[in-house]
Chains A and B, each alone.
Chain A
Amino acid sequence: MSTYFLKRILYVVPITLAVSFFCFSLVHLSPGDPMDAVVSADAPREVVAMVERAYGFDRPLPEQFALWVSRALQGDLGLSAANGRAVTTEVFAALKNTLLLALAASLIGFTLGCTFGLLAGYWQGSLLDRLVTGFAVGGVSVPHYWLGMLLVIVFSVELNWLPSSGAGPGSSNDWAFEWAYLRHLILPAVTLSVIPMGVVTRTVRAMVAEILAHEFVEALRAKGLAEKRVFLHVVKNVAPTALAVMGLQLGYLLGGSILVETVFSWPGTGLLLNNAIFQRDLPILQGTILVLALFFVLLNLIVDLAQARLDPRIQRS
């Protein structure tokens, strides 16, 4: 058990290093000049050179990378090229909002996905199954931003029930679990939950169908076990896979909410990334991608460890 845990944790080190290298390289390979974020286009050359020196963009790339990694290890991701604020503060302030959104979306997606998947799998071939499967396929296929805009038109613009943008009447710094703030979370969370809901529904449905075909289920029924108890056994067998899928989905939600956060002006990492891309704000891009990637790595680690706890066969393999 402990060897497996240790091995799994040690894997994280090379992954992290590789991730930081790719973050840095990809961002620098992409077209665009970070100086465009710092100085106005009509700035004379000497001003550009002066600012370049001040930001360290004039140094060779390997040196910039070494400096960036050594600072990152101390928790300093540099300064935003666009606004001069500390990247660490910017990213973590945004990450807090994205986590809130992703967790809310996961909660909705996971709960509905598991419920629908279990129902559809248990009554496979029924009308309910067909309805749920259609809904799941729709959920996986529908473009996030389109659904977001549609919900805004219906619930904000036409019905005026829910706000269309922002993270509260004040700002996300004042966030509180009160209706005035929660109502801002509903539309983006529902929009974002549709994909994990679809994925979880389909996975759980397939798993339930597969488990129901196993001989042990026949044996349980033959022994005269109540159908409720049989169902419980099925749920237990589905749990590790559902959890793994949801863990990965949470990771995708953290990194993949760019469009939803943009549509709803939700001040998270997605909006931060989107703006950084358009402003060529390399330090913010590097920092956000690194933090999100590390979060994804961490999440995978937690899911793997939790799965191993739930299913001893994983450790043995």
Chain B
Amino acid sequence: MVYKKIAAALRQARRAAAVTVSLTVLSMSAMADGQVLRIAMTASDIPLTTGQPDSGFEGYRFLGYTVYDALINWDLSSADEISGLTPGLAESWEVDEEDTRVWTFTLRQGVSFHDGSEWNADAAIWNLDKVYDEDSPQFDARQAGNVRGRIPAMDQYEKVDDHTIRFTTREPDAWFPYQLTFLLFSSPAQWEALGGDWDAFAREPSGTGPFRLTRLVPRERAVLEPNADYWDADRVPRIERIELIPMPESSTRTSALLSDQVDWIETPAPDAIPRMQSRGMTITSNPYPHTWPYQFSMLEGSPWRDINVRKAANLAVDREGLEALLGGLMVPAAGIVTPDHPWYGEPEFETRYDPEEAMRLLAESGYGPDNPVEIKVLISTSGSGQMQPLAMNEYIQQNLAEVGIALDFEVLDWESLFPNWRRGAEDPSSRGAHATNITFGWLDPFAAFYRFMHSSMAPPNGFNWGYMDDPEYDRLLDEARVTFDQEAQDAILAEFHTRMVDDAAWLWVAHDVGPRAMQPRVKGFVQAKNWFQDLTPVYIEE
């Protein structure tokens, strides 16, 4: 009997040992894969891999500029400088001085797609047809839908010779080069080889970018490996493999990082950051072209038509308090762009915390704590780039109430708030709101100013939600759009921005700093002041 018990105990011990050994083997195999970088994205699916990604700028960040190139790329090499444009698949470009609608691009030579086929003018035109010519066999409605809205100036394109192409814009538009950063080029040869099927191409894509996609499991994982023959030798990736994992829930991403299931997470929840830091994780952040505002309605009856109310709101928000609320993960906003930006200008109105001055201004207009300005704002519960919308809005509500502005929130889910942006303040879906709280990126002057501030962009043409109509704004923006000298253009935009800040055109609250959290072994990452980031210098320290 005793013998039997001992034998049973030994059997159990052996089983336990076997489990321990297998666990050790598992963890060792994880260590052997040292040069694998596992990134948890906020997207709920792998962004489209055929060339023009969906899932907004995160799609471009991870499956756009990794696998593909644009004619003009973003220079993401610096954490200190504002990111500028740099030649990509085009070596150079110039605008015709006689007819400023015409742009000539000289294509880079000696570049191949991942399948070995050559990049040239034919490939470029084939790609343009892919999104612009509905009758071409390679036309893809999905890619067209993802990119055409980002290139509003495009009118015509043609091949000049094997390495030169020419674009004609609808009207003179100095911002055209920015727009071209969104047009990415897929391999015609690979598409042909896969029987002209974009679904097949999505699984085995071929671009010219620094990474090749080697595996795609929809909704679960995309695997990128280096393109050792990348045309820019300085940007050949150091890492052996990147695994991209969609993980939309921020608490899931946090747990995955803390339990070492991933090496890098996008947008950790601010309240989890101290915990991550205490576990030795690296937190990176850097202000980037992002603004968290209240966009005002200027329709008849809106209290924001009174400049005193607009200025008072800007003076009543305690942005430093808000920064503390977000654990330091924001930068106070004093305009659409950050003060270090060439477009900022020199406004006289200082966007600061000064409740006394706010009350004085409101009193001038006949308002006060006993007779508050009543304002309704559309806000969301969450959403891409919205940071912590509920907490932040409640904080602002409290701040404004103290000076005599009573905010009433109309809370929508992000998927309802976002489409309302283009419908405008007058639309029934706005429910009579006087402001909307939608964050946005301002990579180029069109995205930063024109689409909101030019009167021609009122719904349904653009995002001038509040029907802003100022002839001086229109004049400056129109002038900047046709000024092809960069410095002169920046000066006009600075003049425009100065005027807008002095008008307190919106309530500016914060700029996001794009927080990311990663394991301490992840090295080499330089967080550019941009929505997009370069993954090529990243490596894992053994």
Please, which residues of chain A bring their CB within 8 A of the CB of B280? none
A144 at the interface (CB under 8 A from B): no
Whether A172 and B248, one on each chain, are in contact in the complex, defined by CB atoms closer than 8 angstroms, is: no
B144 partner, pick from A51, A165, A264, beta carbons under 8 A: A51
Whether B421 and A164, one on each chain, are in contact in the complex, defined by CB atoms closer than 8 angstroms, is: no
Please, which residues of chain A bring their CB within 8 A of the CB of B54? 40, 82-83
* In the complex with contacts A40-B56, A43-B149, A166-B245 CB distance below 8 A: yes
Q: Whole-angstrom distance between the alpha carbons of A83 and B256 in the complex?
A: 25
Give A262's nearest chain B residue, CB to CB. Answer: B249
| Number of A-B residue pairs at CB separation under 8 A | 143
A156 at the interface (CB under 8 A from B): yes
Whether A280 and B247, one on each chain, are in contact in the complex, defined by CB atoms closer than 8 angstroms, is: no
Whether A44 and B259, one on each chain, are in contact in the complex, defined by CB atoms closer than 8 angstroms, is: no
Whether B148 and A44, one on each chain, are in contact in the complex, defined by CB atoms closer than 8 angstroms, is: yes
Please, which residues of chain B bring their CB within 8 A of the CB of A274? 44
Whether B150 and A153, one on each chain, are in contact in the complex, defined by CB atoms closer than 8 angstroms, is: no
* Of listed B26, B48, B56, B220, residue having the most chain A CB within 10 A: B220
Please, which residues of chain B bring their CB within 8 A of the CB of A32? 415-416, 419
Whether B251 and A149, one on each chain, are in contact in the complex, defined by CB atoms closer than 8 angstroms, is: yes
B219 at the interface (CB under 8 A from A): yes
Whether B145 and A51, one on each chain, are in contact in the complex, defined by CB atoms closer than 8 angstroms, is: yes
A157 at the interface (CB under 8 A from B): yes
B284 at the interface (CB under 8 A from A): no
Whether B422 and A41, one on each chain, are in contact in the complex, defined by CB atoms closer than 8 angstroms, is: yes
Chain A count of residues within 8 A CB distance of the other chain: 54
Whether A54 and B219, one on each chain, are in contact in the complex, defined by CB atoms closer than 8 angstroms, is: no
A50 partner, pick from B141, B146, B221, beta carbons under 8 A: B141
Q: Whole-angstrom distance between the alpha carbons of A164 and B451 in the complex?
A: 43
In chain A, residues 183-211, which have Cβ atoms closer than 8 Å to a Cβ of chain B? none
A163 at the interface (CB under 8 A from B): yes
A39 partner, pick from B145, B217, B247, beta carbons under 8 A: B145
CB distance from B537 to the nearest CB of A (A): 27
B199 at the interface (CB under 8 A from A): yes
Q: Whole-angstrom distance between the alpha carbons of A264 and B247 in the complex?
A: 9
Give A153's nearest chain B residue, CB to CB. Answer: B255
Please, which residues of chain B bring their CB within 8 A of the CB of A45? 460
Whether A164 and B141, one on each chain, are in contact in the complex, defined by CB atoms closer than 8 angstroms, is: no
A171 at the interface (CB under 8 A from B): yes
A2 at the interface (CB under 8 A from B): no
* In the complex with contacts A42-B451, A44-B149, A82-B45, A263-B249 CB distance below 8 A: yes
Q: Whole-angstrom distance between the alpha carbons of A263 and B343 in the complex?
A: 43
A58 at the interface (CB under 8 A from B): no
* In the complex with contacts A33-B419, A156-B255, A263-B249, A38-B148 CB distance below 8 A: no
Q: Mark each residue of chain B from 217 to 259: 1 if its CB lies under 8 Å from any CB of chain A, else 0.
A: 1111100000000000000000000000111110110011011
Please, which residues of chain A bring their CB within 8 A of the CB of B416? 31-32
Give B131's nearest chain A residue, CB to CB. Answer: A47
A278 at the interface (CB under 8 A from B): yes
Whether A50 and B218, one on each chain, are in contact in the complex, defined by CB atoms closer than 8 angstroms, is: no
Whether B249 and A47, one on each chain, are in contact in the complex, defined by CB atoms closer than 8 angstroms, is: no
* In the complex with contacts A172-B220, A180-B26, A164-B460 CB distance below 8 A: no
In chain A, residues 27-85, which have Cβ atoms closer than 8 Å to a Cβ of chain B? 31-33, 36, 38-45, 47-48, 50-51, 54-55, 82-85
Q: Whole-angstrom distance between the alpha carbons of A195 and B149 in the complex?
A: 48
Whether B252 and A164, one on each chain, are in contact in the complex, defined by CB atoms closer than 8 angstroms, is: yes
Give B140's nearest chain A residue, CB to CB. Answer: A84
* In the complex with contacts A166-B245, A179-B22, A157-B255 CB distance below 8 A: yes
Please, which residues of chain A bring their CB within 8 A of the CB of B48? 83-84
B152 at the interface (CB under 8 A from A): yes
B261 partner, pick from A33, A44, A93, A165, beta carbons under 8 A: A165
**Given A166-B220, A179-B26, 7 other A-B contacts at CB below 8 A?**
A41-B419, A82-B54, A84-B142, A163-B261, A165-B256, A265-B252, A279-B415
Supply 15 A–B pairs (Cβ within 8 Å), ascending by A.
A32-B419, A38-B145, A39-B146, A40-B146, A40-B149, A40-B150, A47-B144, A50-B144, A90-B218, A167-B220, A171-B220, A179-B26, A275-B248, A278-B44, A279-B415
Interface residues of A, Cβ cutoff 8 Å to B: 31-33, 36, 38-45, 47-48, 50-51, 54-55, 82-85, 90, 93-94, 149, 152-153, 156-157, 160, 163-167, 170-173, 179-180, 262-265, 267, 271-272, 274-275, 278-280
